[in-house]
Structure 1
Amino acid sequence: MAYENLLRSVEESAGERERELRSKAQKQAEEIRAKAKKQAEEIQQTAIRESERSALTERNKMLYLAKGEIKEQELKGREKTFRAAFDGAKQQLALLREDPEYPKVFERLATEAVSAMGEVSFIVHVDKRDLELSKKTLAAMGIRCEIHPDLECAGGLVVSSPDGLVTLSNTIESRLERTDESRKLEIYAILSGE
């Protein structure tokens, strides 16, 4: 019996040892699963954060590009409106010569141009349609000079030194061009409501 008791004791001891090993293995397996689950969750959260960051970056990029396109379209619209306004002004000014007030306008343009030349002798260049008006206006101002009807313009005149080194243009077109550049920012501000 001692042999049987020894065998039973060894079997019980082996069974207990097996249960302990199984329990320990099961605990280790659960710990590994829990750790793996935790790592998987961390990896998933990291991936989600990176995806959110990437989506936010892409969204901001798209917004920036869209705002740029909107500004570009806005500028094109302003430029188109600006051009239309100046083209309209040019069309109206092309008819200025028919206006009964044109002789007064011509006189003001001539006074500005002549006074800018000072005491230097000069030549006046006009459109042939303004030849008689320029003679009459300059005579009334007490100015004696050569008048050359060699321009094509909507009105006004060009005054130059005899050698052509100094030239002052005071035509309707030149004034409109100067206004175009100097008033562009003001008009853009008005068009944009700023």
Structure 2
Amino acid sequence: MEYFKVRSNKGNLIKGPLIIKPKIFLDYRGYFFESWNQSEFNHIISRQVNFVQDNHSESKLGVLRGLHYQLNPKAQGKLVRCTKGEIFDVLVDIRKNSDTYGEWYGIVLNEENKLQFWIPEGFAHGFISLKESSEVQYKTNEYWDKDHERSLFWKDDELKIDWPIEDRNGKFKILINDKDANAPKLNQIEESGELL
């Protein structure tokens, strides 16, 4: 298993998130890889994490989910992977005392590269499906909690997230629910004090 640190849209190293690349064993029968190992994961991130919930979603082409986060004391860390299709996965640093506050990072996750994305507490997270059907599975270290869940507007002009929202024929339609479409921008979240 290899892992890589990430740099924000401004080129700054973001403390905490990691890209994890599993060791894949290929032969004439197919492939095998270890998708989860508690001991190795805790060693890589230098802390003890206990995952309590697994989530699995299926999204059509153009479905955008996020940007989601949970307030303390229910903040979630997530270990994300795409097991079918392809997504563009994004995090935004919303840790008010972070050097990279308000900066973002995005990566393509798909069934071919089998990469996993560790997103610790303190980040808003979302993704867009780039295929007709994309399945995303992720572990969380805190249960979903309706009273603590929040959203950050995916198209906030200040964030300038470079979402890949074009296909070969031009732009494709974004499919998004009302809650995410009407989410507050970062400056509104700052004013409300709902940061991590």
Structure 2-normalised TM-score? 0.19
- Greater share of residues in helix: 1
Q: Higher relative contact order by CA 8 Å / sep ≥ 6: 1 or 2?
A: 2
Name the structure with the higher strand share: 2
TM-score, normalised to structure 1's length? 0.19
Q: Whose Rg is larger?
A: 1
